[in-house]
Amino acid sequence: MAVMPDFRYIRRQISRSRHQSLVFILCVALSMVTLVSLGSFSRSVHSSLLRDARTLHAADIIIRSRAPFPADFEAAVTALEKENAVESARVYEFYSVVRKVAEDDSLLAQLKVVEQGYPFYGQVKLASGRPFHEVLTSGSIIVEQVLLDRLHLQVGDRLKVGEAILTIADVVVSEPDRPVNFFALGPRLFVAAADLEALDLVGKGSRVSYYILAKVHDQRRLANIAKELRGFPSEERIRVETYRTANSRVKRFFDNLLFFLNLIGIFTLLLAGIGIQSTLAALLKEKEKTIAIMKTLGARSFYIISHYFGVALLLGLIGTLVGLVVSLALQNFLPSLFRGFLPADIGLGVSPVAVGEGLFIGFMVVVLFTALPLFGLRDVKPKAIFGKEEQRASRHGSTWLVGGACAMFFLIMVLLRIRELKTGLYFVLGTGILILAAFFCTTWILRQLQKRDEDPLIFRQAMKGLFRARNSTRAIIVTLAAALTVVFSITLVEKNLDASFIQSFPADAPNLFFIDIQSQQKDDFLKTLGIPATTYAVVRAPLVAINGERIDPEKERGKRGDNLGRTFNLTYRKFLLDDERIVAGKGLFRPDWKEPQVSVLERVLEMRDMKIGDLLTFRVQGIEVSARISSIRARTEKGLKPFFYFVFSKGVLEDAPQTFFTAVRLDKERIAPLQNHIVARFPNVSVIDLTEAVTVFSRIMAKLSTIIRFFTLFSIVAGFLIIISSVFATRHARIQETVYFKILGAKKRFVLAVFSIESLLLGLISALLALIFSQVGSWIICWQAFDLTYRPFIGTSLLLVMATALLVLSVGVGASLPILTHKPAAFLREQSDE
Amino acid sequence: MNILDARNITKRYFVGTRQITVLDNVSLSLNEGEFVVVRGESGSGKSTLLTILSGLDRPEGGRVFIAGQDITDLREDDLAPLRNTTFGFVFQSFHLVPSLTALENVMFPAELANDMAAREKAAKLLSRVGLAERTESYPHQLSGGEKQRCAICRALINEPRIIFADEPTGNLDSANGNAVLDLLLELHRERNTTLLLVTHNPEVAGMAERVVNLHDGRIVTDGGHA
Ligand SMILES: Nc1ncnc2c1ncn2[C@@H]1O[C@H](COP(=O)(O)OP(=O)(O)OP(=O)(O)O)[C@@H](O)[C@H]1O
Ligand SMILES: [Mg+2]
């Protein structure tokens, strides 16, 4: 039987169930808004920051090393230049404290010493608008505006950088290979390579990043040239990458952020889907009698389903349009949300692709989440006419089907969006566990509540309300608890980070670090410093093998989080620090072992499992040094005190090229004078004011959490839509109860109290569950990811719980309020019809 | 003084744009302890009259006095104590609270009135109408007649001064119908409860002290037997 959908019929069905239709539309709109705003944001990020990989690296080939390039490598590059295959420019990046010439005032700056030619792609934009290469000549420097502000300088003034005195020629506005600068500990300062010698800052062992940027004339040769350079037998770890393979820090950061936001987005989508499903189910339940009568009169299931599918599609369409309009409106607000994270001049528009993607996924969500309630229509039996409504919802497999469909959708979305199977699976598993835990806890709590019957009348009625037929109490609690867990966790983790680093910078933790002290400067430095301080030797070296098995740095770096592919800071000493303890082994080193030994910090084991007796091989200045693991250490307190992953026994590293660093605790007002004093005497020593670094960090954190909260907000809205839908779904039952209570002599206050307690219970149970889950989750996150001592923030937690309960209360009661004003007679008559 | 005094009650409904007058200038007084039956064909306005007399609905015109107090314009909350203890309702279609068991339904008005003995009273009433075994059943598990008996127990539990009953025996076989009537009449006799009963049953009408006949929203005869 071919059925033309009857639009009048569809319209009437919708206008008869205005409330449910509205919530349905809102759920669809919500998922659209989430998809479009997330999609647009990630597209903006990609197009503004990551679009042109060549510009992002300012070159075709990027060669990076932590040490000066060996002569033969330099020769190889020169040879390529000679045959006119490439053009190259050297770039040196490091931190140094720069000083005013006349007065005692200094500041840590991020130096970038560049040769002519840089940048090969993109431009360094200057405030004056002049071309970069014309301005940056020997004797001139170009700085960020912040530096001028902080040191009260102007263009044209002179500045002491290392041993040289240079003139500030211009102000840098943007540079291609650093599109955003929120990671920097100090303002940017460009120096011409011709002045490098004069600075006298690049000494052996300093933390200089050496780069050779190359432009390849014949792009077809790009891969081959890169391969050739990569294959160069070098003892140092030289990383040769093309703009295609290079992974910039900015890209990594945004990849991670977008990854996380995508997870939240998918989560929201899931909740919105549940909302769509429960509203449609409620809507269809309202039509049950109509449907039963249609069936009695001979209508086929297909006919009925196709009509209600029409209803769902029409509502979905309206929801999509509403969602698009809201997304467009939101675009006015997004730039201020992302300010500082994205270059100021980028346009944040709704991307047509994001809209297309949103439409498609939105359509899938509507189809998927409406399928089950629609197919449920097949089971409507004509006997429903007699109004013999089942009190308890029958649970024949459909619940499992719903769960299964949701899980499938979830998995597909995760895989589609995240494109990382393992993390995706972990995420799905984590969410699954969260939802299951919420499900079982809720079931248990509800069962406990159902057992009680000695409570006062109002409480008993409220409890009855929770178990009212069609009231998706359990679904609401599970969804709300899961959504709230995410929100609470973000708040708790942020609070913890804030408390550990920003608020109460630990009183005994050092706040001033002096790095890159040369061996021969050590004694003089300590004398000049004038306060007792421990110095730590630092030998920088990569780990090349474990038990003879080579480490593949590329593979390592591909991992999320810390990895074995980087260069480590090694040290040597005989004793355990105050804040360390041995977790495996007898003492730091084994007196009975004659060979070189190394003690490993427990956290290294998270990157790769290691045990006592394993042989670790590092490459120290070209020479491979092996040592056997003698102990595993752990830190007794988490905090900002200096620590080392690898501590060597005496007699291994003493002769290697090394620098020293020390950390002291100083009052804030003493920092600047000491910094000026030290730097005047030891220009190569970098002074890092942690309180300053912490400010940078807290700014990033605040911004990040705002963005994350913004997207989490959508999932909360989804949770509330589910509550509202449930109130509407039970509207009939609520009116009925209200009327019956009233005719039996109950006052409005009584009815209101019953509804309030019901909502309050709902809110409290969800919030308390969320609190427990988020406390556990945040504890794990703080402990594992940030290495912090966890604080539970009981006060804040209780506030969160109360706020949630109040919010749920007002939504629940607010949606029930219109019911209270009903006069009994009209309803009683309607009732008797049935 | 009359326990109930209704003067010139008018009730209209709108169906689309058409106005229909369901009650047209109806006046009715009940003495304390009277047993009055209202009769009339289907659609004559019996149920409508009952809802207005009991304050469940507001008339377009006229006033309703209960024990001398004008309840016509009382707010819902001010009607609550009246409904709880002064009135008892038995509806044509029961109106039991679906989320409560039979026992809980019967107990409810007593609990609202803070009656400590609510549970015992309710159980006793239910067993008097033969529902001792069904106390834990929910309304949807009861038959029409069982629901009816349950509703009557609920109306009686606070021993109201007036009982409004809309065809209380309509769904019952004669044995059960008689049990229900006995219950009502017993209360009427022992506590001098006023009974206003809508029924088509001539046998029941025959027991009444007074019969009011409604036709097309007007009282055509009042008093004596039909
Ligand atoms: N809300 C309403 N809108 C329109 N008409 C109504 C409404 N309520 C009742 N009526 C009409 O009022 C008239 C009286 O109804 P009522 O229920 O009082 O009759 P009744 O005498 O109790 O009949 P029955 O013996 O069948 O129960 C009927 O004709 C009915 O159609
Ligand atoms: Mg009637």
pLDDT by 10-residue block (mean), chain A, 834 residues? 62 80 90 84 73 80 86 88 90 89 84 92 89 92 90 92 92 82 80 90 72 90 86 72 76 75 80 82 79 78 84 90 88 75 64 81 83 76 56 52 70 72 76 86 88 79 77 77 82 78 63 84 87 86 89 72 80 86 88 90 86 91 89 78 86 86 83 82 81 73 78 79 76 80 86 89 90 91 76 89 88 76 72 49
- Ligand 1 atom, smallest distance to B217 CA: 14
Residues of B in contact with A747 (CB under 8 A): 76-77, 80
Q: Is the beta carbon of B144 within 6 A of some atom in ligand 1?
A: no
Cβ–Cβ under 8 Å, residues A756 and A809:
yes
Beta bridge partners of A91: A114, A211
Residue-wise DSSP of A5-42: --HHHHHHHHHHTHHHHHHHHHHHHHHHHHHHHHHHHH
**A729 alpha carbon – ligand 1 mean position (Å):** 29
Please give the interface size between A and B, counted as residue pairs whose CB atoms are below 8 Å apart.
84
- Choose the closest CB to B111 out of A457, A739, A828: A457
- Choose the closest CB to A825 out of B51, B100, B140: B51
B166 within domain boundaries: yes
- Choose the closest CB to A828 out of B81, B91, B113: B91
Q: Which of B17, B44, B171, B212 to mutate to test the pocket of ligand 1 (most atoms within 8 A of CB)?
A: B44
Q: How far is CA B5 from CA A283, B27, B33, in A?
A: 45, 8, 14
Let me know how many helices (H) and strands (E) chain B has, helices first.
7, 10
Our measurement of the distance from residue B169's CA atom to the centroid of its chain's CA atoms, rounded to an integer in Å, reads 12
Q: What span, in angstroms and rounded, lies between the C-alpha atoms of A733 and A743?
A: 15
Total domains in chain B come to: 1
What pLDDT is attached to residue B226?
Answer: 47
B149 within domain boundaries: yes
Chain A: give the shortest CA distance to residue B224, in Å.
Answer: 30
Q: Which of B18, B19, B22 to mutate to test the pocket of ligand 1 (most atoms within 8 A of CB)?
A: B22
**A385 alpha carbon – ligand 2 mean position (Å):** 21
B70 within domain boundaries: no
CA nearest A471 in B: which residue? B99
Q: Is the beta carbon of B171 within 6 A of some atom in ligand 1?
A: no
Residue ranges with strand state E in A405-485: none
The residues spanned by each domain of chain A are 1-51+249-419, 60-242, 421-507+690-834, 532-665
- Choose the closest CB to B57 out of A388, A465, A823: A823
Q: Does A392 touch chain B (CB under 8 A)?
A: no
What percentage of chain B has pLDDT greater than the value 70? 98
* CATH (domain of B40): 3.40.50.300
What pLDDT is attached to residue A615?
Answer: 93
What pLDDT is attached to residue A277?
Answer: 82
Q: What is the DSSP letter of A355?
A: H
Residue ranges with strand state E in A148-200: 158-161, 164-174, 188-192
Residues of A in contact with B97 (CB under 8 A): 736-737, 740-741
B216 within domain boundaries: yes
Q: Is the beta carbon of B44 within 6 A of some atom in ligand 1?
A: yes
Amino acid at A81: E
Our measurement of the distance from residue A171's CA atom to the centroid of its chain's CA atoms, rounded to an integer in Å, reads 33
Q: Does A388 touch chain B (CB under 8 A)?
A: yes
Q: What span, in angstroms and rounded, lies between the C-alpha atoms of A112 and A89?
A: 12
- Ligand 1 atom, smallest distance to B50 CA: 18
Q: What span, in angstroms and rounded, lies between the C-alpha atoms of A354 and A774?
A: 32
Q: For chain B, what is the mean pLDDT?
A: 88
Residues in A 418-457 with any Cβ partner in B closer than 8 A: 457
Would you state the structure tokens that stand for residue A494, as one six-digit string? 């942020």
- Ligand 1 atom, smallest distance to A826 CA: 1
Name residues whose C-beta falls within 8 Å of residue A40's C-beta, 6 or more positions apart in sequence. A327, A331, A334, A348, A349, A350, A351, A354
Cβ–Cβ under 8 Å, residues B216 and B43:
no
With CB atoms and an 8 Å threshold, state whether B56 touches A743: yes
Q: Mapping DSSP to helix (H, G, I), strand (E, B) and coil, where does residue B215 land? A: strand
What pLDDT is attached to residue A715?
Answer: 77
Q: Does A747 touch chain B (CB under 8 A)?
A: yes
Name residues whose C-beta falls within 8 Å of residue A721's C-beta, 6 or more positions apart in sequence. A23, A26, A27, A30, A272, A275, A279
Give the residue whose CA is nearest to atom 2 of ligand 1. B13
Q: How far is CA A487 from CA A441, A482, A492, A771, in A?
A: 19, 9, 9, 10
**B45 alpha carbon – ligand 1 mean position (Å):** 6
Chain B: give the shortest CA distance to residue A398, in Å.
Answer: 24
Q: Does B73 touch chain A (CB under 8 A)?
A: no
With CB atoms and an 8 Å threshold, state whether B112 touches A823: no
Q: How far is CA A65 from CA A234, A798, B63, in A?
A: 11, 51, 98
Q: How far is CA A802 from CA A543, A743, A775, A795, A808, in A?
A: 51, 34, 16, 11, 10
Q: What average pLDDT does this structure show over B151-167?
A: 91
Chain B: give the shortest CA distance to residue A822, in Å.
Answer: 10
Q: Is the beta carbon of B48 within 6 A of some atom in ligand 1?
A: yes
- Choose the closest CB to B99 out of A464, A746, A823: A464
Q: Does B100 touch chain A (CB under 8 A)?
A: yes
A706: exposed, middle or buried (C-beta count within 10 Å: 0-12, 13-18, 19+)?
Answer: middle
Question: What is the domain extent for residue B101?
Answer: 32-44+75-222
Reported as a single tens digit per residue, the pLDDT across B34-84 is 999 999 988 899 989 998 998 888 899 999 999 889 999 888 888 888 888
